[in-house]
Amino acid sequence: MIMAKVSVLVPYFNARVFIAQCARAIFEQTYQNIECVFVDDCSPDNSIEVLENVLKDYPQRKEQVKIIKHEFNKGVSAARNTALRNSTGEFTIFVDSDDDMPHDAVERLVKKQLDTGADIVTGQVVSRFDDKLSMMERSHFYNHDDFVEDMIKPSLNHTLWGRLIRKSLYIEHDIQAKEGVNIGEDMQMMVQLAYYANRCESLWDVVYYYDCTNELSCMNQYSVDNIHRLIQDTASMEIVRDFFVGKSDKFQNQAEGYLRDYYLKLLRYYGRSKMKEDFEKIQERLFGLRPQNRKMPKQQEMKFGSYRMFRLVDSILK
């Protein structure tokens, strides 16, 4: 039996400290028919040199490896798109440069795909902290809509890594990350992939180690309350909402519910900062939501003070 080629895609920036461990985990996979595409997003450090030195220890993998360097820094979304464009496998797996995988991860994911014919196979993830390991709860889904709904939720469940994904989904539906929006880019793509997939399956086995110790990663650079992260998360959720317009009222409503919460947080920030122009732009976008999605659930009224909060701020700004 000819085993499907799997493209393992690694976008990275300034990954000198982590790239060797990540690359070794990929090169030592028990599954042999893989292609490794590394995309250096114009790192100023010597990440490429480190990667090339590691590759020398795996001469049998040399012909399977592509190392691409951007001429200038474009952001992780562009790096993901570059990796996809340069991949030739029937299936893809994304790996972040500070993470790694068990040596049989690809083999286990492919076996599940062969057994089920799934377009997407999701494996389990272990989070690695300085002092402990922790299982990341990834839900198992038994129908299409539940999977899509979970991908829309703002959480780590919608990450691209830890999944085997049929590449034709990206090609046939022109799925790519929005360049310049570099937080939530996984969600932008996973929502669309889940929507178009004919079958999605879960695997109980651990296939990914998620590193939570890298202080330079995007996830750690911006705290939950950081305005930059909030703006980027909002932009990604707007992309998700726009995707569902004309396709699914249910999923559009779900995305707008999260957008409402993001808009209210931005209003609170801009109000406190006396940034009237930005405040008015967000207020306009909030009232651009469909009427049923502007009203907050009862349990959130105490948290945000309902609309009295931003009406008060609005009066102050005027």
In a domain, 1, yes or no: no
The pTM for the full model equals 0.89
CA atoms within 13 A on the CB side of 318: 7
Which pLDDT score, from 0 to 100, does residue 133 have? 82
Which pLDDT score, from 0 to 100, does residue 279 have? 85
Give the 3-state secondary structure of 168-210: HHHHHCCCCCCCCCCCCHHHHHHHHHHHHCCCEEEEEEEEEEE
Specify whether 243 is located in the same domain as 181. Answer: no
Which pLDDT score, from 0 to 100, does residue 162 have? 94
- Render pLDDT for 116-159 as a digit per residue (tens, 0 to 9): 999 999 999 999 888 888 888 777 776 899 999 999 999 888 99
Distance CA 26, CA 10 (A): 10
- Render pLDDT for 16-37 as a digit per residue (tens, 0 to 9): 999 999 999 999 999 999 999 9
Specify whether 51 is located in the same domain as 152. Answer: yes
- Provide the β-strand partners of residue 136: 125
What is the token pair recorded at 11? 């976008």
Q: Residue 69's domain is classified under what CATH number?
A: 3.90.550.10
Specify whether 296 is located in the same domain as 173. Answer: no
Which pLDDT score, from 0 to 100, does residue 271 have? 83
Convert 288-307 to b/e letters by CB count within 10 Å (16 or more is b). ebeeebeebeeeeeeebeeb
Please provide residue 271's backbone torsions phi and psi, each rounded to the nearest 5 degrees.
-65, -45
How many structural domains are present in the chain? 2
In a domain, 179, yes or no: yes
- Which residues neighbour 129 within 8 Å (Cβ) at sequence distance 6 or greater? 212, 213
Q: How far is CA 123 from CA 97, 112, 158, 209, 222, in A?
A: 18, 10, 12, 11, 27
Residues in the chain where the model's pLDDT stays below 70? 1, 142, 214-225, 295-318
Specify whether 43 is located in the same domain as 184. Answer: yes
Specify whether 235 is located in the same domain as 101. Answer: no
In a domain, 118, yes or no: yes
Specify whether 199 is located in the same domain as 232. Answer: no
Which pLDDT score, from 0 to 100, does residue 224 have? 43
Asked whether 29 and 5 are in contact (CB, 8 A), the reply is no
What is the token pair recorded at 276? 């009237």
Q: Strand, helix or coil at 156?
A: helix
What is the token pair recorded at 15? 């990954």
Specify whether 200 is located in the same domain as 270. Answer: no
Query: Residue 117: which domain range?
Result: 6-219
Side chain identity, residue 198: N
Last residue of a domain, one of 203, 219, 235: 219
Q: How far is CA 103 from CA 29, 109, 130, 256, 285, in A?
A: 5, 12, 22, 40, 47
- Provide the β-strand partners of residue 68: 39
Q: Strand, helix or coil at 228?
A: helix
In a domain, 163, yes or no: yes
